[in-house]
Amino acid sequence: MLHLILFLFFGTICVAGAINLLAQSHPINSALSLIAVMASLAGEYLLLGAEFVAAVQVIVYAGAIMVLFVITIMLLNAGKEERTKGSRIAILIGVPGVVIGGVLVAWTLLHRPDMQTVPIGALKGDPSAIARLLFHQFLLPFEVTSVLILIAIMGAVVLASRPEAIARPHHSTPGPQETRKLVATGKDRR
Partner 1 sequence: MSITAFIVISIIKSVIVLGILLTAVAYSVWLERKVSARIQNRWGPTRVGPFGLLQPLADGVKFILKEELTEPHVYRPLFIAAPNSSLVFAITSISVIPFGNWVDLGPWGTYLQITDLNIGLLVVLGITSMGVYGVALAGWSSNNKYSLLGGLRASAQMISYEVSLGLSLVGVLIITGSLSLRDIVDAQRHLHWNIFLQPVAFFIYLISAYAETNRTPFDLPEAESELVAGYHTEYSAMKFAMFFMSEYANMVTVACLATLLFFGGWLGPVFGPPILQMILPVLWFCLKVFFFMFLYVWVRWTLPRFRYDQLMAFGWKVLLPLAVANIVVTALIVAWRA
Task: State in angstroms the smallest separation of the CB of 20 from partner 1.
Answer: 13
Task: State in angstroms the smallest separation of the CB of 146 from partner 1.
Answer: 13
Beta carbon nearer to partner 1, 18 or 55: 55
Q: Which residues contact 87 (CB under 8 A, 6 or more apart)?
A: none
Task: State in angstroms the smallest separation of the CB of 67 from partner 1.
Answer: 5
Beta carbon nearer to partner 1, 157 or 167: 157
Beta carbon nearer to partner 1, 14 or 38: 38
Task: State in angstroms the smallest separation of the CB of 74 from partner 1.
Answer: 4
Helices (H) and strands (E) in the chain, counts: 9, 0
User: 56 by DSSP, 3-state: which?
Assistant: helix
Beta carbon nearer to partner 1, 18 or 130: 130
Alpha helices in the chain, H assignment, sequence order = 2-23, 27-48, 51-56, 66-76, 88-110, 127-132, 139-160, 163-167, 176-185
Percent helix, strand and coil across the chain, each rounded to 5? 75, 0, 25
List interacting residues with partner 1 (CB under 8 A).
28, 35, 51-52, 55-56, 58-59, 62-64, 67-68, 70-71, 74-75, 126-127
Beta carbon nearer to partner 1, 110 or 157: 157
Beta carbon nearer to partner 1, 37 or 62: 62
Q: Which one-letter amino acid corresponds to residue 59?
A: I
Q: Report d(CA 13, CA 145) in Å as an integer.
A: 31
Q: Which residues contact 14 (CB under 8 A, 6 or more apart)?
A: 36, 37, 40, 41, 44
